[in-house]
């Protein structure tokens, strides 16, 4: 007799440990969730799995209504329906901020019998999501008379509490993402305004920075870079010549060949651009790309004569995009040279002045994909 009892107690303990292990895994899943649909999907499946119930619902509070947002059950319950808080058990749980455990729904005055008659439900247990200020409820249902055990209620409440934390995290992540997007748009708008200021000083290069940025974006996408990194190339391209704002306008639009001294002055624009932006923390990466966009693969560029991998990949992309766009566009000292001449220049100096992989990509874009830089 004692051996049988001990064996049963051992089995119960083993089952309880297994449930706790599965619950821990579910809590980890919820912690990693990044949207409400994922939270609801995890909860609706795990409630049935961990309680052995025949159905589960995930209810959200919408002002004075209970919205049955998700469910997992042996037959349909109320998914997609809304009921006034005062007329459903989920509403009672939220208004009273405590669980409801009902062994027989047909003898409990809190149950709207008409809503349950068409379902399989005989017994239920429901707990609030976020007890101190409920934002929803999680319910589980049985097709046979059953009174939820303390362990089952604990499991439900752990799921509800974890879901509440996950939902709050998602909310804050969305707020942060929105603010970050707004800040990013403000920065981009500022950079475009600065770009226009530079172009007002040098009308011949009007639109040059934007076109270089768009070509740089196309190249970086073709390289398979993440969206954020591609956008960093575009952002730097938009203002890569910002340092020219400090160079006399007549020098920028000079129709004849520059003297050595004049060219030396022009060459200061990459360092000047870096100086303008470097003290704004969010723009420091952009400033560093601008600083290096005239470096060359073999170290013959400026301002520091960096070679190959000493130069940022983003700067190497803009170096190629800058040369290509300049050659196909009109300049005060020469007419546009055309697409073929630009491609020839890049191919001839592939692995010498320009990174060979980037040259291959731009040739592929132009010749195989018919890429043209938008006006």
| Structural domains in the chain plus CATH codes | 2-171 (3.30.450.40), 184-367 (1.10.3210.10)
Query: What pLDDT does residue 2 have?
Result: 45
pLDDT score for 306: 96
Between CA 42 and CA 56 the distance in angstroms is: 11
Distance CA(152)–CA(65), nearest Å, equals: 26
* Cα 64–chain centre separation: 33
Rg (CA), the chain: 33
pLDDT at residue 205, rounded to an integer: 66
* Predicted pLDDT of residue 196: 79
- What interhelical angle do 284-292 and 313-328 show, nearest 10? 60
Q: Is there a contact between 191 and 239 (Cβ–Cβ < 8 Å)?
A: yes
pLDDT of residue 375: 67
pLDDT at residue number 258: 85
Per the CB < 8 A criterion, the answer to whether 22 and 49 are in contact is yes
Written as six digits, the tokens of 183 are: 């800040």
Residue 8: what pLDDT?
Answer: 38
Helix (H, G, I), strand (E, B) or coil at 146: coil
Considering only CA atoms, which of 282, 284, 287 is closest in space to residue 272?
A: 287
Give 334's strand partners.
331
CA of 50: how far to CAs of 22, 124, 209, 252, in Å? 8, 15, 59, 73
Which is nearest to 135 in space by CA: 157, 163, 158?
Answer: 163
Q: Helix/strand/coil (H, E, C) string of 231-295?
A: HHHHHHHHCCCHHHHHCCHHHHCCCCCCCHHHHHHHCCHHHHHHHHHCCCHHHHHHHHHHHHCCC
Look at residue 342 in the predicted model and tell me its pLDDT. 92
**Under 8 Å CB-to-CB from 357, ≥6 apart: which residues?**
223
The pLDDT of residue 11 is 41
Give, for all 375 residues of the chain, the pLDDT tens digit: 444 343 333 347 677 677 777 777 777 887 777 888 888 888 888 888 888 899 999 999 999 999 999 999 999 999 999 999 999 999 999 999 999 999 999 999 999 998 898 899 999 999 999 888 899 999 999 999 999 988 889 888 888 888 888 888 888 888 888 887 888 788 888 788 877 777 777 766 668 898 999 999 999 999 999 999 999 999 999 999 999 888 887 887 787 888 889 889 989 999 999 998 998 888 899 999 999 999 999 999 999 999 988 999 999 999 999 999 999 887 777 788 888 999 999 999 999 999 999 999 999 999 999 888 776
Q: What is the reported pLDDT for 3?
A: 43
């Amino acid at each position: 007799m004692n051996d049988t009892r001990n064996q049963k107690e051992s089995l119960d303990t083993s089952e309880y440990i297994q449930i706790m292990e599965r619950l821990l895994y579910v809590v980890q899943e919820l912690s990693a969730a990044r949207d409400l649909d994922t939270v609801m999907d995890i909860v609706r499946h795990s409630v049935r799995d961990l309680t052995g119930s025949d159905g589960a619902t995930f209810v959200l509070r919408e002002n004075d209504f209970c919205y049955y947002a998700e469910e997992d059950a042996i037959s349909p319950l109320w998914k997609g329906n809304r009921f006034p808080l005062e007329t459903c058990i989920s509403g009672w749980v939220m208004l009273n901020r405590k669980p409801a455990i009902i062994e027989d729904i047909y003898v409990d005055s809190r149950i709207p019998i008409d809503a349950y008659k068409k379902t399989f439900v005989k017994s239920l247990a429901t707990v609030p999501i976020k007890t101190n200020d409920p934002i929803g409820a999680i319910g589980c249902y049985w097709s046979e008379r059953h009174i939820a055990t303390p362990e089952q209620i604990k499991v439900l409440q752990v799921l509800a509490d974890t879901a509440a934390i996950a939902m709050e995290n998602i909310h804050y992540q969305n707020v942060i993402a929105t603010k970050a997007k707004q800040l990013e748009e403000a920065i981009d708008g500022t950079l475009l305004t600065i770009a226009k200021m530079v172009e007002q000083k040098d009308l011949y290069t009007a639109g040059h920075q934007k076109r270089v940025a768009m070509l740089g974006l196309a190249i970086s996408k073709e390289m398979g870079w993440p969206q954020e990194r591609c956008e960093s190339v575009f952002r730097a391209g938009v203002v890569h010549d910002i340092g020219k704002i400090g160079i006399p306008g007549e020098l920028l639009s000079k129709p004849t060949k520059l003297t050595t001294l004049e060219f030396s002055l022009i060459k200061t624009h990459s360092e000047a651009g870096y100086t303008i932006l470097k003290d704004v923390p969010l723009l420091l990466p952009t400033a560093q790309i601008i600083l290096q966009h005239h470096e060359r693969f073999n170290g013959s560029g400026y301002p520091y004569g960096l070679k190959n991998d000493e130069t940022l990949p983003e700067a190497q992309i803009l170096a190629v995009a800058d040369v290509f766009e300049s050659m196909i566009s009109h300049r005060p000292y020469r007419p546009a040279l055309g697409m073929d001449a630009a491609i020839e220049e890049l191919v001839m100096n592939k692995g010498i002045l320009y990174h060979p992989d980037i040259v291959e990509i731009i040739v592929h874009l132009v010749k195989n994909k018919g890429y043209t830089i938008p006006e």
